[in-house]
Chain A
Amino acid sequence: MCNTCGCNVTDANRHLLDEHADHRHDHDHHHAEPVATASGTVAVLKRLLDANDHEAAHNREHFDEYGVLAINLMSSPGSGKTRLLEATIEALGGELRMGVIEGDLETENDAARIRAKGVPAHQITTGTACHLDAHMIHHALHHVPLAGLDVLFIENVGNLVCPASFDLGQHRNVTLLSVTEGDDKPAKYPVMFRAADLMLITKTDLLAVIDEFSPDRATRAFRALAQEGPVLSLSAKTGEGLGDWLAWLRSEVAAQKTRAAAGETVRPKVQPDGVARHGRGAA
């Protein structure tokens, strides 16, 4: 596969070109410069977010250089992302060196909450943008002391739709589902939950009063997305179930150290589109 000329022709997608564009390809070399024909059609076959993917790969190289595990936290607004981070810092502050990038449309409130726990936090205010992208993270990294960190949490804008489409350079996606939201959320927002390397059911202390929510149903909806990833339940408020999350986090941090020492990296299990099938991987 050629990584230099914009050609992304694979066995899986070659038919797209055959169907839609006059083109000439040097199939022997699996290498195709965009070629204009008499009709003025140029075959491209490139991911629309190719530029973002490249910048994300660059961010990932930075994380790997310092052996830092980058976790992208995604969920609806108000599902407890910041509260989870506070509880995590309280539990592991003496053990892991953590940093946080916060994404919100407005305010420094979340970064202030994290800093109050003694952890470096940089707030990205997106204005009207509904998601973080790799470029925003690249800029934020100028304000984050990667050299002193074991794990960097990126708390994405609260939104179950848009953040799933943009690679930031993270190694893992963690998607939260609070029990106040309804157990059918994975079925309603399949792109988001399919992208999760771990689904965290949060605010389980409220299950006593919200009997409409069934963790089993939520897990079944998650599995229906061809999801083999782990599902953990916790209450950051009471600490119930927190140990399982901390154990997952510890093992991921250790795995990242091992990978980084070996010069290897990892990407979230599911990419924002099957890069391997449809086009050039940015990593």
Chain B
Amino acid sequence: MHELSVCQALVDQLRDLAEREAAQRITRVLLRVGPMSGVVPELLEHAFPIAAAETVAEGAAIDIEDAPVRVRCRNCGVETDAEPGSLVCGSCGDFRTDLVSGDELLLVSVELER
């Protein structure tokens, strides 16, 4: 359950951001979390209110958007959808691919009140 650690890191970032922006309150947070990040979005949603309690982000809504698992083949160059447990090329079947999407663990944007 490392999602609580991740949320604590998120709240630290939000605290710094609120200070820099002279914000009174954070009202909404948008994250982008891919399945290859090793973090479970549902658990993040549950952990966030715990980490945000009694901070500038208390009560903020949290939106988490998915990122598709996509690979680009080093053999044929084609970009295809993949699965977390199978990152082989969907076109030629070669296993030598590069992940181009799906491992994101990003704070995308924040809504705040001044």
Contacts and interface: CB of A to CB of B under 8 A. Distances in A.
A129 B5 contact: yes
A16 B32 contact: yes
A254 interface: no
Interface in B57-114: 71, 84-88, 95-100, 103-114
A100 to B, nearest CB: 23
A65 interface: no
Contact of B105 (A16, A47, A131): A47
Interface string A201-242: 000000000000000000001011111100000000000000
Q: Is the interface of B mostly helix, strand, loop or mixed?
A: mixed
Interface residues of B, number: 45
Interface in A122-136: 129-131, 133
Interface stretch (A102-110, A147-155, A187-195, A259-267): A187-195
B13 A190 contact: no
Contacts of A166: 2, 5
B96 A226 contact: yes
Given A20-B108, A34-B17, A277-B100, A48 B10 contact: yes
A191 B95 contact: no
A49 B107 contact: no
Contact of A20 (B23, B30, B71, B114): B30
Given A40-B114, A187-B86, A226-B88, A165 B96 contact: no
Nearest to A192: B38
Contacts of B107: 44-48
B111 A41 contact: yes
A277 B100 CA distance: 8
21 contacts: A16-B32, A34-B21, A36-B21, A41-B109, A41-B111, A42-B111, A43-B108, A44-B13, A46-B106, A48-B13, A48-B105, A48-B107, A49-B6, A129-B2, A162-B38, A186-B85, A187-B86, A190-B85, A224-B85, A225-B86, A272-B38
Contacts, number: 148
Contacts of A225: 85-87
B12 interface: yes
Interface of A: 12-13, 16-17, 20-21, 34, 36, 39-52, 129-131, 133, 161-162, 164-166, 186-188, 190-192, 194, 221, 223-228, 272-274, 277-279
Contact of B31 (A48, A52, A161, A187): A48
Nearest to B27: A40
Interface string B13-41: 10001001101000100111010111100
Nearest to B39: A165
B104 A273 contact: yes
A44 B38 contact: no
Contact of A273 (B9, B13, B105): B105
B112 A36 contact: yes
A165 B88 CA distance: 22
A192 B20 CA distance: 36
Contacts of B99: 226, 274
Nearest to A33: B20
B37 A226 contact: no
A279 B107 CA distance: 10
A226 B100 contact: no
A49 B105 contact: yes
Contact of A191 (B32, B36, B111): B36
